[in-house]
Structure 1
Amino acid sequence: MKDTFIPSQLNLKQQWYLIDAQNKCLGRLATEVSTLLRGKKKAIFTPSQDVGDYIIIINANKINVTGKKQNKKIYFRHSGRPGGKTIETFEDLQLRIPERILEKAVRGMLPKNRLGRKLFTKLKVYKGQEHPHMSQKPQKIEL
């Protein structure tokens, strides 16, 4: 009888990738990033295992959206207190916390369970060119 193949039994080395978000479309970039985080393009992909890679995204403040989403797309959050609802447009959030836009888009495309939360910790988003992960020698990829 054959044993079941489990990718976690391999000594899987996870790669670090660097993506420049400058002039990229938000949704298209988020789908590619979520696919890489899950490891869906790998031959050893297993839905219940973490076989994905680490992703570093730079220039998050220069991401684009199409159409009138710049003014019409809204982001909702609630503090948990009565009257604590806050609504912001894409434009306002891009000025205040540009990293949050990409994080929210990618998080929505990951599984809504323990695995999804673990995968999300492997996403690093920065608004400028600089990032503190040079020692990992990230491989730059174009999407």
Structure 2
Amino acid sequence: MSQAIGNTALAYARVWHHVDASDRILGKLAERIALVLMGKHKPIYDPSVDCGDYVVVTNSRNIKVTGRKDQQLLFRKHSMFPGGLKETPYKDMMVKNPDEIIRHAVSGMLPKNKLRDRRLERLYVFPSYRMGILGGNILRSWDDGTLPSDWDPKTPLLGKIPPNNT
């Protein structure tokens, strides 16, 4: 019988999740990503402990918003100098920096505490399907939540790249 009391190192092991953002709603996707980054899907969740997983989001260019948010949503940043407010509409941000839209939404859903920046560092967002070398780390895809049948830890899991998607 084991004499270990409490949570073991295996319980805190971080898993890499892959999310395809094609035709997904921004708010619902950001909520789900925030839960995984916090570790709320694990039975050992503790608000004061950073036990979340890594999340890799691909196809951030194809994210959808509901209602008229694509016309009304503004992203604001300030340089802290007088008159330094910069406002960028949603449509311009989709063309210029689509991964920042998902990062901003997830950041708003995380608790505002000292763990927030550390959790956001585990979020990787890519505008297209190509994720580079990080594809080899992915263990779970959110399609069904299980490991793929042909999973091999020695080969990168890049998935099936669509022929016309770059």
- In structure 2, the residue matched to 1:140 is 141
Q: Which residue number corresponds to residue 122 of structure 1?
A: 122
> Which residue does 1:92 correspond to in 2?
92
- How far apart in 1 are the matches of 2:138 and 2:36? 17
Number of positions where the alignment pairs a residue of Structure 1 with one of Structure 2: 139
Report if the CA contact (8 A) 2:18-2:138 is conserved: no
**Deviation string for 1:73-97 (max 9, x for gaps)?**
1111112222211111111111110
Larger radius of gyration: 2
SS of the aligned residue for 2:49 comes to: coil
In the alignment, is residue 46 of structure 1 matched against residue 35 of structure 2? no
CA deviations over 1:38-58 (Å, ceiling 9, x no partner)? 111111111111111100000
Using the alignment, how far apart are the partners of 2:143 and 2:35 within structure 1? 14
**TM-score of the superposed pair, with normalisation by structure 2:** 0.78
Percent identity over paired residues: 31
1:30 Cα offset (Å) = 0.4
* Structure having the larger proportion of residues in helix: 1
Stretches of 4+ moved more than 3 A in 1? none
Task: Give the match's secondary structure for 2:37.
Answer: helix
AA aligned opposite 1:48: S
> What is the aligned partner in structure 1 of residue 9 from structure 2?
10
Per-residue Cα deviation, 1:19-39 (whole angstroms, up to 9, x for no partner): 000100000000000001111
Normalised TM-score (structure 1)? 0.90
Corresponding residue for residue 107 of structure 1? 107
Q: Greater RCO between the two (CA within 8 Å, min separation 6)?
A: 1
Q: Which residue identity is paired with 1:18?
A: H
State the Cα distance separating 1:18 from its structure 2 match: 0.5
Residue in 1 that maps onto 2:164: none
Once the two structures are TM-superposed, the CA of residue 16 in structure 1 deviates from its matched residue by 0.2
Give the gaps of 5 or more residues in structure 2.
Answer: 145-166
Letter of the 2:26 partner, please give it.
Answer: L
